[in-house]
Each structure stands twice: as structure tokens, then as C-alpha cells.
Amino acid sequence: MSAPLREHSFHTQEYAALMAEKHYHFLTGDGDRKRILTGELSIRKYYKLCIAGLLHDYAKIYSDEQLTSIALEQKIRLSPFEIECKPILHGFVAPYLIKRDFGISDKEIDYCIMSHTIGSQNMSAIDRILYISDKLEGTRNYSGIDDLRKISLENLDLCLLEVYKSNIIYVIMRNRTLHPDTSKIWNNICGGLKNAI
């Protein structure tokens, strides 16, 4: 990885760990820094989140042409839009590359990485945390990010809504195309927020 990409990956993993601690109640042991997670996020899922945070952009070490070629050669199930939309392609190809290069094959890690670019309608806790962490980690700097970081440590559902909204606006302001599932994902996030309030 290039130095900036490596730094982004480390910061994404670090911010994801911070969010997990804030939202899933770590209990500290007898000064030995042993931690036990409770709630939806088990210790196993915590480690999966950390792996996903470190490797979510691993496929970016390859060119768009290489990623397209790998996707076609490996028959990775992608829509024509996903094949042509280069900014999101790395998320879909990454699980294959991570399995090939690191021997890591885990459905939760794969899904978490695949949904870090456009989200999904069925985002688990680790999926939501990685999606948010990728957009809010320490090297990111844009208008409103401090408010989003504050929300991310207070209300996971509200933060997902605000970060997703911010991402949609970012794409639209640059006259880029939105993934066809964006409105379904947005509506799902809004519905989930209503249930959380």
C-alpha cells in the first residue's frame, strides 16, 4: 500500500475500534487490559471489524483495469453499473484478493468490506461501524466532520443516517452517478432510525 492508503487504513481501524468501545460497553478486567464485549458485538466480531478496517481498501493497490480484469476472470457477481463505477469496484473485489493474498475467508469480513462504499440494506453493527469509520477517520477533513464525529460516539443510527446523507450529497455535487440501490439503502436507514428513536 502507498503511505497515504496505509495511514487511512490504520486510522479507519482505529476509529472503528473507538466506535465499538463507545457503543458496545467494554468491561475492563483486573488491570490486565482484558476486555469482554457484551451486546450485539462479540469479541469475535470486534476482531473481524478490526481486520475489515485494516483491509477494506486493500484492493486499491491495483489499478481500475486490473480490478475489472480480476472481477471478470473470477466471475465476481457484479451488476454492469458496479463493473463500470470505478470508485466502488475495489470493495467488491477485495474479498477475493484478501482470501488469495492473506488466506482470510470470512463471510462477515467480506460483507463488511463489500458494503463500506455504498452501504447495504442489511448492515450489521460491524458493517455500519466500518462504513462510518471509513468516512470519519482522523485523516479525513471536510466541512461538518467534527459534528459527525461527535454524533458517531453518541448515536450510531443517527450517525449512519447523517454520514450516508453526506456521502450522497458528495456524489451528487460532483455530478457522479449514484448506485441504483442508493434510494433503497437510504429508505432502509431512515426506517431503522425511526425504530431507534
Q: What is the DSSP letter of 58?
A: G
Supply the mean pLDDT for the chain.
88
Burial-class residue 61 by CB neighbours within 10 Å (0-12, 13-18, 19+): middle
Give per-residue pLDDT as tens, 89-132: 999 999 999 999 999 999 999 999 999 999 999 898 899 999 99
| Rounded CA separation 179/82 (Å) | 8
Query: E strands along the chain, which residues?
Result: 27-28, 35-36
With CA atoms as reference, report the closest residue to 158 among 49, 139, 38, 166.
Answer: 166
Compute the average pLDDT of residues 5-14.
97
User: What pLDDT does 44 receive?
Assistant: 83
Percentage above 90 pLDDT, the chain: 78
For the chain, the domains span 3-141
pLDDT tens digits for range 136-146: 999 999 999 99
- For the domain 3-141, what is the CATH code? 1.10.3210.10
